[in-house]
Amino acid sequence: MVDFISWLISFILHIDEHLVEIINTFGIWTYVILFIIVFVETGLVIFPFLPGDSLLFAAGALAVLDGSILKIVPLVIVLWLAAVLGDTVNYHIGKKIGTSIPEGSWFGKIINREKMEKAEAFFNKHGGKTIFIARFMPFIRTFAPFVAGASRMNYRYFLNYNLLGATVWVLLCTLGGYFFGNIPIVKENFSIVVIGIIIVSLIPMFVSFLRAKLAKKGTKQK
């Protein structure tokens, strides 16, 4: 387990180097590997720790290199399909088993009936905006579609924002890497850039947390 965590941290912080290794080893199958990583990260609620934003950025940066197996158009299409299908599967898993998770299980402590009711009220109030914003928030990106399904959010409504969120997320991160990933200062400090991407992507989550805390404090004072 410790070795896996160490490898995962190394993979995230030096994702450009690991992607080069994957490309050299698997060639055209790299598209399949990237699809699987993004699909699992967005589609299976037990894998929220897999790289998302940084992976898209690094893949975009490698797509601009001469002779690279990765080309920007098929890359964007593959990553977009993985993101859309991942959220779709996650939604249906949540709809199928979300309300039947044993209360005493470790997952039941994270997502229980009380939290489901709060989630349903939250989705009814904010709806698609939540699904869209969650795309840019690690961990939340993985849990949001599951909770949306479990709280019985209207699927057509969910799908519209799933498509919109996936499109903006993939284009922003991948094209960001494509146009800026090979600027010398970015390329020479890629690990720092990856950490920066992770920090920036966490900002909406912290802002949301602080707002909830302040709102709760304000309610108590009243």
Radius of gyration of the chain, Cα coordinates, nearest whole angstrom = 18
Is 213 a domain residue? no
Query: pLDDT band at residue 91, thresholds of 50, 70 and 90?
Result: very high
Q: Which tokens in the block code for residue 129?
A: 């905006």
Q: Domain range spanning residue 142?
A: 1-199
Between residues 2 and 10, the one the model is more confident about = 10
pLDDT digits (tens, 9 = 90+) for 28-80: 999 999 999 999 888 887 766 666 788 898 899 889 887 889 999 999 999 99
Is 104 a domain residue? yes
Query: pLDDT band at residue 102, thresholds of 50, 70 and 90?
Result: low
Residue 222 DSSP class = -
User: Which pLDDT does position 114 carry in this prediction?
Assistant: 61
Number of H helices and number of E strands within the chain? Answer: 12, 0
Is 214 a domain residue? no
Is 218 a domain residue? no
How many domains is the chain partitioned into structurally?
A: 1
User: Which pLDDT does position 34 carry in this prediction?
Assistant: 93
Is 40 a domain residue? yes
Closest CA to 42 of 1, 95, 77, 82: 82
What angle, rounded to 10 degrees, do the helices at 140-150 and 30-43 form?
60
User: Which pLDDT does position 100 carry in this prediction?
Assistant: 63
Q: Which tokens in the block code for residue 48?
A: 């929220």
User: Which pLDDT does position 112 carry in this prediction?
Assistant: 56
